[in-house]
Amino acid sequence: MPIVYIIEANGGFCVRILYSIFAVAIVFAVSNSTALARVSVKETNKYYKVRGKTAPEVFRQITKKGPRHRGLARAVATTAINLKMDGVRIGVRGNRCVVKSLRVKLRLQYKYPKWSNIRQGSKRARANWRTYMKQVIRHERTHGVIAKKLARDVNRSIARLTTRKSRNCTRMGRQIERTFKKLNKEHDRLQTAFDKKEHRQTSYIMKLARKFAFTR
């Protein structure tokens, strides 16, 4: 059966991150070929429209239309991370069980607000919005960078695993699960630490959010 992790980190005022990590069943096969570990990454952007002639109006739209955070509050932007490991084949080399092949697939979807009638806003509001959104995009993309590190770590660590030979290499399956959970725990720590740093009231992105919010 697949192992499914759904973890939601505190996104605070600016962002939410929801990431799902799937590890699929392992196939046992006696083979002399070496592990062919690969990482596939696909990134997409998605937008939701907000309208308003002033910054306060735009933020009110975000509180109504933004992605939900923990099913209740609305976030400004989100990063959805889907990491899938499949095609895991276990073989025997001498008296050791080894990983012969695996595929690691990472899918990142960034969701941002789009001010659809921005031309109706003041010149100052438009400029402040664009400056703020550049930082929102940077923030979300950094979540993506952290996720890419996880994908590389999973790829490298799982490919290098080896255990003492046993019937159908059952020990290897348990070792893969332990390794996967350990790497994911570190990934969660890095994502949470990044959000905590960015969501301080003195951070640059928070200052820009306030600057835009009070623009007339």
Residuewise pLDDT in 10s, the chain (216 residues)? 222 222 222 332 222 334 444 334 445 444 445 555 678 999 999 999 999 999 999 989 998 898 876 655 788 999 999 998 888 888 888 889 998 888 899 999 999 999 999 999 999 999 999 999 999 999 999 999 999 999 999 999 999 999 988 877 888 888 988 998 999 999 999 999 999 999 898 999 999 999 998 888
The count of structural domains within the chain is: 1
Tell me the pTM: 0.82
Range of the domain at 138: 3-213
Q: Which residues is 209 bridged to in the sheet?
A: none
Max CA-CA distance within the chain?
Answer: 73
